[in-house]
Amino acid sequence: MKFLSIVNFTAAFQGIFLCIMLFGRNRASPENRALALLVMVISVSLLGPVLGMTGYYREFPHLIRIGDPLVLLYGPFLYRYISLLTHKGNPVWWHYIPFWLYLGALIPFYLQTAEAKIAFGEQVFLNNTPSGLVIFILSLRTVHIFFYIVVSLNLTQKFQKTLLDNYSDLSRLNLDKANFVLKLFILVLMLAIIVFVSTYFWSLNFVVINNLLGLAFAILIYALAYTSWNRPVIVEELIVREVIENEISDTGKRTRNTYNLHTEINENLAIRLKNLLETQQIYLQSELSLSQLSQELGVPAYQVSEVINRQYQETFFDLINRYRIEEIKRRLNDDQYAHLSILGIAMDCGFNSKSSFNTAFKKFTGMTPSEYKKK
C-alpha cells in the first residue's frame, strides 16, 4: 500500500507543477486556465488519501477532510473546460451549489480540535468495513461526475455538428482535446465502479478505497501532463470566431428542420449553388467553408445552409466531400492522372490530410482508395 501513497503523492505534485505550467504566460488561454483549475482540485484531493494511508494525518490533523468537498468541483470544472473548448461559455453559478452545501456542512468538523479530528480519522481510517454512509457518499460523488461527463459529451457532439455544418475539412478543426479528457474521466469512472463492486467481495477500509480511486485520478494527471503540450487547440481563434458568427446569424432566423426561404428563392440559390459545385468546382478549394461559399453566392450563411439541407439533406461537410470523392474517382479512372499517386490526387481535390481523405472515401464508396483503384 506504500506504493499507492508514493504514486498518489507524486501525482499530486505533478499536477501542481502542471497547473503552474498551464498558467504560464505563453499558454494562459481561458481553456488552459480552466484545465489548470481542474487539475489543481484533483491534485489537492489526492493528498487526503495519502495522509490517511501514511498516518501523517496525526501530524497534520487540520488537513483531514480538506479535500472532501473539492471532489464536487471535478464535474463543474470539467464541464467548464469542455464549455470553453466548444465555446459555449462558463457554467452558471448553480453548478457549484453541491460544493458550497457540502463545504458548509463540514464547517463544524473543521472547527473541531486537533484531537477530535484525529479521533475521527482513527475511526474512519482503521475501519476495515466502510460504513454505509461512506459508500453512499462515494456513490453520490461518482453519480455527480457521471452527470457532468454526459453533459460534456453532449456539448462536444453539438459542436461537432456545428463544424460539419460550416467546414469542408476538419483536419485542423477537431475535438481531440475535449474527447481525450472525457475519455480519461470515463476510464476513471469505470475504475471507481470496479472499486465499489470490490468492496462487496473483499474487506477494504476507507483509506484503501480512497487511494485506489486516487490512483485512477493520478493516472489521469499523468496522462494530462504527458499530452498537454503536444495536442493542438481545438480550433484557431479566427475559425472559432467565424463559427460563432454563423451561429449568431442563424439565431431567430430559423430552427433546425424549419425552412424560411421562399420556394422561388430557394430554387434560384440551389441552381447557383449547383453551378458553383459542378461548373466552377469550388469544392477543390482545400479550406472551403460555409462562410466563403455564402460570400460567393452573395447571401447570408444561414440561407446557404438551408438550401443545402433542403436540396441535399446532408451537412455542408458531407456535400463538399462527396463532390471531392466523385472527382477523385473520375481522376483515378483517367489516364491523364496516372502519373499522380492516390494521395496526390486527393490533395489536388481539396483534402488536407491522408486520414481525412481515407475516412471520407470509405464513407462514400464503402471501400478504401487502394481497393477502388484495383477493382
pLDDT tens, N- to C-terminus, the chain (375 residues): 567 777 777 878 878 887 887 777 555 678 778 888 888 888 888 887 777 777 778 888 888 888 889 989 999 998 998 888 777 666 678 999 999 999 999 999 999 999 999 888 777 766 666 667 777 777 888 889 899 999 998 888 888 887 788 878 776 555 667 777 888 888 888 877 777 677 666 666 666 666 677 777 777 777 766 655 544 444 444 444 455 455 545 544 444 455 677 888 888 999 999 999 999 999 999 888 888 899 999 988 888 888 998 888 899 999 999 999 999 999 999 889 888 899 999 999 999 888 889 989 999 999 999 888 887
The length of the chain in residues reads 375
Q: How far apart are CA 206 and CA 192, in angstroms?
A: 13
Q: pLDDT of 45-83, one tens digit each?
A: 888 777 777 777 888 888 888 888 998 999 999 899 888
Q: pTM for the whole thing?
A: 0.73
Q: How many CB atoms lie within 10 A of CB 66?
A: 16
CB half-sphere exposure, 173, CA atoms < 13 A? 25
User: If you search the block for the grid coordinates 473541531, which residue do you land on?
Assistant: 112
